[in-house]
Amino acid sequence: MYDLIIVGAGPAGYTAALEASYRNKSVLLIEKNELGGTCLNVGCIPTKSLLKKSEDYYNARKSKDFNISINDSFYKNLMDDKSSVVEKQKKGIEYLLKKAKVNYIKGMATLVDEHCVSVDGVKYKGEFILLATGSSPLIPKIDGIENAIFSDEILSMDYSKMDDIIIIGGGFIGVEIATIFTNLEKRVIIVEAQDRLLTNMDQDVSSSVKRVLKKDGCTVLLNSKVTKIEKDGIYIDDKKIEGSTILCAIGRVSNTRDVDPLSLIEKDRGSIVVDSEFKTNIKNIYAIGDCINSYKLAHYASSLAIYSVNNMFNTITNIQIKNVPSCVYTNSEIATVGERECDDDVCIKHSLISNARCIINDENRGFIKLIFRKDGYFKGASINCSRASDMINIFVSALNNHYNIDDMLKDIYPHPSFIEGIKDSLVEVKHKFDSMYT
């Protein structure tokens, strides 16, 4: 009997396997598709590789020092580089699992009972079972949906044969894919049913992303519901919008049905129900990552892996899982954490137009938005600039440590850097507090 059986080898699954093995537990890790899950194979990593290479072309194209154009070899190199990045990371994970003596098998696992799973007819027993089965693209009930493709497919297509793309959905997947194709000078249309892009983020972030995408040639249609999809376009009510490629990117749903054919685990709208320790209704079976109803983010899933494994085996961890950063990897990155602003909050939006690193990088649209309670304690932040995803954890730490404005002003920041914009924004907050109470 294993100490722990893990179903799913994405960021949640393989991180849990490594954490348990570091604590001298015997681990069986099972994956039906590819090691690394959605994130590594058809999600985060390939998308960011394509974004990086397309942004290189975008920056060279807009520079006065270069005269470049795209040819077929560019598109081949684009995909070759993406595949190389994926394979390098996969080999890294394989090495770590082998070094940690994790037993890894490929196959479809199904729950048999509270201590047993079956893989291709072979049964395996474990003291604990951890479900980390991930998610898949949501397939909406739209007439003609079979004419659309989904995010898993778009990352491996031949872009040299694509002139345009219609993207249904203005969330982070839709916005990042739109950025890739606008960088490559394709005709791009985003169709969003709600009144703004990135509805889970700050209004200022949504407005900035829309403005930049439109500046780069993307058409953004808000308050627009797709009623029908055909091979050569979509309908919004009775109006047809033509396009040769239709991408549906309106969200993701938990993968839970195949792993639990006997319906042993309680679910809510397809996602596994867990308590605060990520236990299911069966006390020795846990669930984390995209298969539960929570943030569908790889870094959150891997944090839950460490948290839940330590709960299982009654060991101590200091990891905090409450304050979760969200990032969108457009050309000028977006990163947010914490709560939205309320009427009583002290809030500033600090422009980065005078930041030396932004000037060097020819960026003129970045900002840092900070939200504090009236008692001076930090509440939330949004960043819109290059390296935003690297900067946001300063604010995650501020939330975890319950910092106020004076605590946050103690640090020295390097110059020139994007991150010194945080110091400047905090000074602006401090001045605002001082003027309120003098």
SS (H, E, C) 192-207: CCCCCCCCCCCHHHHH
Nearest to 203, CA basis, from 384, 431, 51, 330:
384
Residues in CB range of 392: below 8 A, 6 or more apart: 325, 327, 335, 336, 337, 381, 383
What tokens were used for 382? 């949004």
Give the integer Cα–Cα distance in Å for 271 and 58. Answer: 40
Tokens for 405? 């404005």
Percent helix, strand and coil across the chain, each to the nearest 5 = 35, 25, 40
Please say whether the dihedral angle defined by the alpha carbons of residues 389, 392, 397 and 399, taken in this order, is positive or negative. negative
Which residue type sits at 301?
Answer: A
* Angstrom distance (rounded) from CA 35 to CA 28: 13
55-89: pLDDT as tens digits: 999 988 877 666 777 888 899 999 999 999 999 99
Q: For residue 69, what pLDDT is reported?
A: 74
Placement of tokens 């977006």 in the chain: 334
Picking from 7, 14, 16, 15, the residue whose alpha carbon sits closest to that of residue 313 is: 16
pLDDT of residue 66: 67
Domain 332-436, CATH among 3.30.390.30, 1.10.3300.10, 3.30.300.30, 3.50.50.60: 3.30.390.30
Residue 363: predicted pLDDT: 85
Identify the segments of the chain with pLDDT beneath 70.
64-66, 438
User: How much is the pLDDT for 436?
Assistant: 83
Tokens matching residue 263: 């319906």
For residue 64, the model assigns a pLDDT of 66
State the Cα–Cα distance between residues 246 and 417, nearest whole angstrom. Answer: 40
String of b and e for 34-69 (b: at least 16 CB within 10 Å)? ebbbbbbbbbbbbbebbbebbbebbeeeeeeeeeee
**pLDDT at position 59:** 87
Domains 2-137+252-312 and 145-248 share a fold: yes
pLDDT at 65: 65
Catalytic positions are 415
Peptide bond just before 416 cis, omega within 30 deg: yes
Q: Which two tokens stand for residue 274?
A: 């867990």
- What are the extents of the domains in the chain? 2-137+252-312, 145-248, 332-436
Burial class (CB in 10 A: 0-12, 13-18, 19+), 95: exposed
Q: Which CATH fold would you assign to the domain 145-248?
A: FAD/NAD(P)-binding domain (3.50.50)
Q: What is the pLDDT of residue 60?
A: 86
What pLDDT shows up at residue 438? 65
pLDDT score at 112: 97
| Closest listed residue to residue 221, CA positions, set 185, 197, 187 | 197
What is the structure's pLDDT at 63? 73
Map 325-381 to HEC letters: CEEECCCCCEEEEECCCCCCCEEEEEECCCCHHHHHCCCCCCEEEEEECCCCEEEEE
Domain 2-137+252-312: top CATH class: alpha beta
Q: Which residue has the tokens 């995803």?
A: 389
Distance (Å, whole) CA 235 – CA 127: 53
